[in-house]
Amino acid sequence: MNFNWNIQKTLLTDQRSFQLNLEYASSCQSVAIFGSSGSGKTTLIKIIAGLLMPDTGFIKIQDCIFFDNIQKINLKPQQRNLAYFFQFYSLFPHLTVQQNIAFSLKKGIFNPSKNQYKTEISELLERFELSNLAYHYPHELSGGQQQRVALARVLVTKPKLLLLDEPFSMLDHQLRQRLRVEVKSIQQQIGCLLLIISHDSEDINFFAEDVLLLENGKLVNKA
């Protein structure tokens, strides 16, 4: 199985509680998570990323156990070999586009040299239509341009699992279409699994071999 989990998690606030209770197993490469606002999509993806811990259950991605409360396994996010693109990403304001992308490759180095123009990065800049913006800073970019930089930044690490939360929300229709093709082609090139949250049925139709439809923290249907 590529994706295999059984997760229970209760989120409590003063006024109410939200319960996620999800069991899923699939050999698909690309799965979409779909559901109304508040149905638990981001909570699920954060749990898989290791940013939230389930109360009970297990998460196995391919042959790697990310979490298992019985075996007392809980891999740190950085041990999960995944990249997570989320809705409220932020770029480093003091780094150029190219340096922002390079930063993911240069863990621990504060400010990668401007001249370190790796082939991989220039290829990504081209694919995400950012070549002419390589030396610009985030405040000089539009929302859609910043979103593309953030996408390139997660893909440059060549993860085994790619988690995308509304990756194209800031882009116009035509750019969305072009970038879907690029993301899929990079996914195939690096051979990673994909979990995508999107409200856009075109994204879902384009990427997903299976769709998890969530309602109030439960799986209601498989399309």
- Helix, strand, coil percentages for the chain (3-state, nearest 5): 30, 30, 40
Least spacing, CB of residue 36 vs ligand ATP, in Å = 7
Tell me which residues in 1-40 interact with ligand ATP (CB under 6 A): 11, 13, 18, 35, 37-40
β-pairing verdict for 218-222 and 56-61: unpaired
Which member of 41, 127, 153, 176 binds ligand ATP (CB under 6 A)?
41
The smaller minimum CB distance to ligand ATP, of residues 3 and 86, is found at 86
- The C-alpha atoms of residue 162 and residue 103 are separated, in whole angstroms, by 18
Both tokens of 47, joined, read 């749990």
β-pairing verdict for 56-61 and 64-68: antiparallel
Least spacing, CB of residue 13 vs ligand ATP, in Å = 5
Q: Does 55 bind ligand ATP (CB under 6 A)?
A: no
Helix (H, G, I), strand (E, B) or coil at 203: helix
Task: Kindly compute the dihedral angle of the four CA atoms of residues 60, 66, 67, 70, in this order, to the nearest 10 degrees.
Answer: 70
* Count, residues near ligand ATP per rule CB under 6 A: 11
Q: With CB under 6 A as the contact rule, which of the stretches 41-49, 104-112, 120-128, 203-211 interacts with ligand ATP? A: 41-49
- The C-alpha atoms of residue 32 and residue 207 are separated, in whole angstroms, by 8
The smaller minimum CB distance to ligand ATP, of residues 182 and 200, is found at 200
The smaller minimum CB distance to ligand ATP, of residues 38 and 143, is found at 38
Both tokens of 65, joined, read 């156990």
Tell me which residues in 70-99 interact with ligand ATP (CB under 6 A): none
Least spacing, CB of residue 201 vs ligand ATP, in Å = 15
Specify whether the CB–CB gap between 211 and 34 falls below 8 A: yes
Residues that bind ligand ATP (CB under 6 A): 11, 13, 18, 35, 37-43
